[in-house]
Structure formats: C-alpha cells, structure tokens
C-alpha cells in the first residue's frame, strides 16, 4: 500500500515514471522500509481490527502523517524533479488505503463474523430505544456473532428518521414492515430507565407481533455490578405487570440494623438470602446466617464474605431451641428476621406434620429463645396464604402469626411483628420460572385454573418491606402491602408465550405453538388469595404499608395448642392435626382430605 500510494502520487503529478532518476526510484522502493518501522513504533499494528474506534483512527492518521513527513524530507533532499505536492497526494492515498482497509475488515467482522460467509445462525434484531443504552447495545452486538441489529425503534419524534450508530430510527408503526423486510427474530428493549407503566405499554404494543421480546437490565443493576450491560434476558415480569416496586423509605431501613447484631433464620432461602444481601448494605455490626442446608449456607457466606460486614455462618434448625438460644446469647443478637419455613403448598400438604414442626414449633422455639436474651426486634416473614387458608402451609403460617402476637404480649423486652405479602417473583415457589421452562421446552404450559389470580412482588421489594417493618413495629403488628390489583395467572402465561415470539394453541387457533392446559387446583390451593382476614387496617408512616388489626390469643391460651402440636408432630396424626388447625385458625377449611405421604401405600 505504501509503494502503491507513492507510485500513484508520482504518476498523477508527473505521468512519466521512466523519467525518474535512480535516486527517485530508490525512494519509491525504499518507502516501505521507512514506513513499517514508523507504523510499528506509533502502535499501528497494536489495534485489534474487530474493535476499531476513534482512537484507532487517530493512530492511523498519526502514523501515516509522520511517515509522509519523513518521505517529504527525502523528496526535498534527494528528488528535485518531483513536485512538492507529491508527498501531500501520497498522504491522501495512503490514508485512504490503510484506514479504509482496516475499517473494511472491521465491518466484515461486524456483519460476517470471523469467516467469509454469512453466519446463518445469527438472529436478526430490532432495538427498541435509540438512547445511550440502545447505542451501547448496538455497538456490543456488532462485536458478537449471535445477533445483527438492523434498525432502532423509538418514540421520540426528534430521533425518528435519523441514523444512529449506522442504523435508521423508526417509529413503532413501522415494526411489522421491518419484521417482514429483515426477517426479524427478536426485539431487544434497551430502555432501562423507563417506568414500569411505560414498559408495560411498550410490551402491549409488541405482543401482537410474532417476535421474541427480550430486555436490557436496568441502569441500577448495571451500576451495582449485578449484571453486565450486554446481559440480554427475558422480559422482566414486573414490566409485564406494570406495577412499580413499592419505594423504600430510607429512614426506615437503618433503625433495626445499623450498628446492630442481626440474625436471619432460613438465611439461604430465596427471601432470606435477599434479606442478608440488603442487610449487609446497611452497616450492621455483625450478620449471623442461621440455616440448616449446608451447601446453600456455604454459597451465601462466600457471596457475602467481601461485603465489608462480619458474617457468621451457623448450621442449625429453628426447631432446636437450645442451639438458637446459644447463638443469641453468644453473639448478643439485637434483631432477628425469621424466614425459615416450609412454604411450598403441595409439598407441605403431603407432609403436614413437618409443616407443623417447622412452621409452628420452629417459630415458637425461636421466638421463645428471643424472649430470654438480648433481642430487641423480631420480624416474622409470613404470607397471604395465612388468610382464610385452605391448605396446611397457610394454616401453619397463620398459627405462626398467632405465636408472634402472643409472644409480644407476654415479652415486654422484645418488639414482635410479622410481614404478610403475596407471591414473590423469582422465589423458589414462583410459577414464572416454571412457565419459562415449559415454553422453552415447547409446552404445554400448566395453569391450574383459568380464573386463578395472585398478587406479585419482587424479591428485593419483599426484603425491603420486611426490614422497614422492623422500624414501623410497635409490637404485635401484622403488616400488609398495598400490592395493587391481583393478576390472572392465565393472562400472564399467554403474555409470556406471545412475547417469546410464539402463539397460543386454543380453540380459536388450533395450529398455535404452545398449548395451555388446566389440570385443576392442586391440593390445598385456592383461586383467590387475600391479604386481610377481617378487612380492618390502619395506615403507617409508609403510604403503601398497612397494619392489619386482627384477633389474637394470649400465650397461656396458645400453650395448650402448642403441646397438642408437639404430640401430633411426634405421632404423625394427620386427622388430629387438621382438627386442631380448624379449631385454632379462623376460616381454615381443607378443600380435600389431607393425606400424609407417609400413610400411603408401601413399596413392594
């Protein structure tokens, strides 16, 4: 390229190349020997062609210019027959050849990958959002071999019909046209700062099109290093629900944690682990992880070991009151968050005595240990399934609430409270991961009943609510969250199928991709969950956190039931268990006969 540029510049300005002197011809043939060391020293060969940038352009410009100056000096000293414009023209030719060839190769990487043939497995995508996140996403995709971006979609009239990062920006009314033109496989949402309501509106807009919709993480997640900017993932279900998380009142987060020794039971569960993560950010003096599952405890302790907080991992069960009390006394625990529980409805329904042992007797044991130690605050993580329960799990969690209320009345030194909320997206019992897996496997998607509804919230939101309750509590409180409208699970499943670029197979569309089947309500499951038993609530300092005013028992009244539950758990007496729960829990009514799996047929 150096020789070609020199030769072209001489030919354009002088035409008669044979008339050159031997010295002038020497300059032509020696030019690469001058240029290559200059290019090497200035870093021209250090650039990775796949990732050319403005800095790479400057390096090319700097290298070619320095060589041109050196060659111009040679022309001035030794080639008097050559025009003074020759080095300038050579500079222009060489800049175009070297710069152009490099950007041509970079373009080849971006659009054709490492080989010379088009990657047939690359997905054609549209990017929804031509802002900073969208531009960064388009740049990152151009460096990979899995996606190729063809255009931007954006609501802003100021951006529409303009070109951003080499791609034209269109309005949403052109989506179908772009899908047909470019055979689009996916739409990637790159609007991480948009509100939930706006994201829901965009998803509703995209749902009719047969394309897979995925999203970019929020800016908060990227800044907190929870994910990477190029971590494209399935649509966040909270976007689909359109409900913004309940905002945390920062003044309520520190009080029960900052400078305190905090213990979390069931620390490695979905709620417990998120509680531990959030607590570690609030400067406790010490964080105690109390958990009976060994590997989960190990994994969580490794995750938190660089949090800057002293973390103590203790294996144990909440049923073991002696061990719990030793932990409280040894470390002078100030605050306990009790998240340890069996919470999977069908599993507890078929193992009822274990539900009683863990959820009732375990709560009674750890609450009793807290009464005789240094504990000042005790918060129980409860569930909306405790309201007029139709299953063993819900009934045992309601008894756990009664235990907390009774302990608060009997133990003046400790402020006991409970927090009741609905389904947690991303928890171990959530239906959403199950639906995603079923869709990925080609269906069918199982929805227990066409009319079943549930309340939803995120795991971080639930954890923050629990922490704030520790500050709001005055004793014996049961807190509930204004969670908006309940969501129909059937509609949610249909949204998920359509946003995966597939269609629902039903009577109106028998040739659809994914069928939804309705096997019927599972044992102990009910159509509608509630957050209140009596409907009597009072407000708190937080606009969307309420305190339920519900009936309670004294510790003396409750003690006789606790003794009965101990006997029931020891014997595995399921009929007596159901009878006792029905006596104690208002509104509890089993939807079907409860049968312990241990009472089933034996293996041959």
Residue among 357, 173, 370, 335 at smallest CA distance from 260 = 335
With cut-offs at 50, 70 and 90, classify the pLDDT of residue 438.
confident
The rounded mean pLDDT for the chain is 79
Q: What is the β-pairing status of strands 545-548 and 477-481? A: antiparallel
Distance of CA 544 to the CA centre of its chain: 23
The model's pTM is 0.64
Rounded Cα distance, 341 and 420, in Å: 14
Q: What is the pLDDT of residues 181-197, one digit of tens each?
A: 888 888 888 887 777 67
Q: What is the dihedral sign for C-alpha 578, 579, 585, 586?
A: positive
306-312 average pLDDT score: 90
506 DSSP 8-state letter: B
Identify whether 575 is preceded by a cis peptide bond (ω within 30 of 0).
no
According to the model, what pLDDT value does residue 233 have? 55
Long-range contacts of 435-442 (CB under 8 A, 24+ apart): 435/492, 435/493, 435/496, 436/234, 436/496, 438/514, 439/496, 439/497, 439/500, 439/502, 439/514, 442/513, 442/514
Predicted local distance difference test score (pLDDT) of residue 451: 79
In this predicted structure, which of 14-28, 353-367, 491-505 has the lowest mean pLDDT? 14-28
User: Strand pairing of 487-488 and 453-454?
Assistant: antiparallel
User: Residue 540: is its pLDDT beyond 70?
Assistant: yes
Contacts of residue 310, defined as CB under 8 A and 6 or more positions apart, other chains included, come to: 285, 286, 287
Cα four-point dihedral sign 322, 326, 327, 329: positive
* Whether the Cβ atoms of residue 526 and residue 590 lie closer than 8 Å to each other: no
DSSP per-residue string spanning 89-132:
HHHHHHHHHHHHHHHHHHHHHHHH-SSSS--TTPEEEEEE--SH
Q: Two tokens at 235?
A: 């649509």
Q: Using the predicted structure, report yes or no on whether residue 528 has a pLDDT greater than 70.
A: no
Exactly one of 325, 385, 397, 526 is catalytic; name it: 385
Task: Give the pLDDT of residue 332.
Answer: 95
pLDDT of residue 230: 47
The tokens for 287 are 């964080």
Choose from 81-85, 306-310, 458-462, 525-529 the range with maximum mean pLDDT. Answer: 306-310
Which sign, positive or negative, has the C-alpha torsion 428, 432, 436, 442? positive
Contact 361, 316 (CB under 8 A): no
Indicate the domain borders of the chain: 2-112, 123-241, 256-425+456-483+530-584
Query: How many CB atoms sit inside 10 A of residue 327's CB?
Result: 21
User: Is residue 55 annotated as a catalytic residue, yes or no?
Assistant: no
User: Tokens 């998380």 belong to which residue?
Assistant: 245
Quick one: pLDDT at residue 495?
78
Q: Please count the residues of the chain.
A: 604
Write out pLDDT tens, residues 13-53. Answer: 665 555 566 666 676 677 777 778 877 777 666 655 554 55
pLDDT tens by residue, 424-437: 665 555 677 778 78
More confident residue, 109 or 12: 12
Task: Determine which of 23-37, 217-231, 486-500, 525-539 has the lowest per-residue pLDDT on average.
Answer: 217-231
Q: Is the pLDDT of residue 512 over 90?
A: no
- Coil, strand or helix: which one is 34? helix
Task: Answer for the pair 460, 224: CB distance below 8 angstroms, yes or no.
Answer: no
Please indicate whether the domains covering 123-241 and 256-425+456-483+530-584 agree at the CATH topology level.
yes
Q: Give the position of tokens 């400078």.
A: 259
Helix (H, G, I), strand (E, B) or coil at 169: strand
Q: Which CATH architecture has domain 256-425+456-483+530-584?
A: 3-Layer(aba) Sandwich (3.40)
Residue 235's pLDDT is what? 61
Give the least confident one: 1-10, 107-116, 457-466.
107-116
Q: What class, spelled out in words, does domain 123-241 have in CATH?
A: alpha beta
**Band of pLDDT at residue 369, cut at 50, 70 and 90:** very high
Q: Once rounded to an integer, what is the mean pLDDT over residues 219-233? A: 52
> How high is the pLDDT of residue 522?
65
Per-residue pLDDT tens for 373-424? 889 999 999 988 888 888 899 999 999 999 999 999 998 889 999 988 776 6
């Amino acid at each position: 390229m150096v020789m070609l540029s020199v030769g072209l510049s001489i030919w354009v300005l002088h035409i008669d190349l044979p008339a050159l002197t031997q010295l002038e011809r020497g300059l032509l043939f020696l030019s690469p020997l001058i240029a290559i060391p200059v290019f090497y020293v200035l870093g021209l060969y250090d650039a990775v062609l796949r990732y050319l940038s403005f800095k790479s352009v400057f390096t090319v410009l700097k290298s070619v210019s320095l060589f041109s100056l050196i060659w111009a000096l040679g022309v001035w000293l030794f080639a008097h027959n050559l025009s003074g414009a020759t080095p300038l023209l050579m500079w222009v030719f060489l800049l175009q050849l070297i710069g152009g060839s490099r950007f041509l190769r970079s373009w080849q990487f971006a659009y054709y990958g490492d080989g010379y043939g088009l990657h047939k497995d690359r997905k054609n995508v549209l990017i929804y959002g031509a802002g900073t996140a969208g531009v960064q996403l388009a740049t990152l995709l151009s460096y990979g071999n899995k996606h190729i971006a063809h255009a931007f979609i954006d609501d802003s009239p100021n951006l529409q019909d303009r070109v951003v990062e080499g791609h034209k920006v269109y309005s949403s009314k052109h989506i179908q046209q772009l899908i047909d033109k470019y055979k689009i496989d996916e739409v990637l949402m790159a609007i991480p700062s948009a509100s939930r309501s706006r994201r829901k509106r965009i998803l509703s807009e995209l749902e009719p099109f047969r394309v897979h919709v995925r999203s970019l993480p929020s800016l908060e997640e990227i800044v907190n290093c929870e994910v990477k900017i190029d971590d494209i993932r399935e649509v966040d279900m909270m976007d689909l629900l359109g409900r913004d998380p309940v905002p945390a009142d920062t003044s309520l987060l520190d009080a029960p944690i900052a400078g305190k020794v905090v213990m979390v039971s069931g620390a490695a569960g979905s709620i417990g682990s998120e509680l531990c993560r959030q607590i570690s950010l609030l400067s406790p003096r010490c964080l105690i992880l109390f958990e009976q599952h060994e590997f989960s405890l190990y994994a969580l302790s490794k995750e938190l070991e660089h949090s800057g907080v002293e973390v103590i991992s203790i294996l144990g069960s909440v049923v073991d009151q002696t061990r719990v009390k030793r932990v409280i006394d040894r470390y002078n625990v100030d605050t306990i968050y009790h998240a340890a529980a069996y919470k999977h409805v069908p599993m507890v329904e078929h193992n009822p005595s274990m539900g009683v042992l863990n959820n009732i007797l375990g709560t009674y044991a750890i609450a009793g240990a807290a009464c005789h130690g240094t504990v000042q605050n005790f918060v129980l993580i409860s569930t909306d399934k405790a309201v007029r329960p139709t299953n063993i799990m819900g009934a045992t969690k309601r008894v756990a609430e009664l235990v907390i209320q009774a302990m608060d009345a009997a133990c003046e030194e400790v402020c006991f409270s409970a927090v009741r909320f609905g389904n947690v997206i991303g928890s171990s019992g959530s239906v959403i991961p199950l639906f995603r897996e079923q869709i990925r496997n080609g269906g069918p998607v199982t929805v227990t009943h066409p009319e079943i509804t549930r309340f939803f919230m995120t795991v971080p939101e639930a954890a923050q609510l629990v922490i704030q309750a520790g500050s709001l509590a005055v004793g014996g409180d049961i807190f509930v969250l204004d969670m908006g409208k309940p969501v129909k699970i059937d509609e949610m499943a249909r949204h998920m199928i359509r946003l995966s670029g597939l269609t629902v197979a039903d009577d109106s569309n028998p040739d659809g991709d994914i069928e939804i089947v309705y096997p019927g309500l599972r044992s102990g499951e009910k159509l509608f969950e509630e957050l209140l038993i009596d409907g009597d609530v009072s407000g708190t300092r937080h606009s969307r956190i309420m305190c339920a005013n519900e009936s309670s028992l004294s510790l003396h009244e409750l003690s006789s039931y606790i003794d009965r539950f101990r006997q029931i758990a020891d014997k595995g007496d399921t009929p007596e268990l159901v009878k006792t729960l029905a006596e104690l829990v208002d509104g509890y009514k089993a939807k079907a006969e409860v049968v312990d799996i241990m009472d089933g047929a034996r293996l041959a």
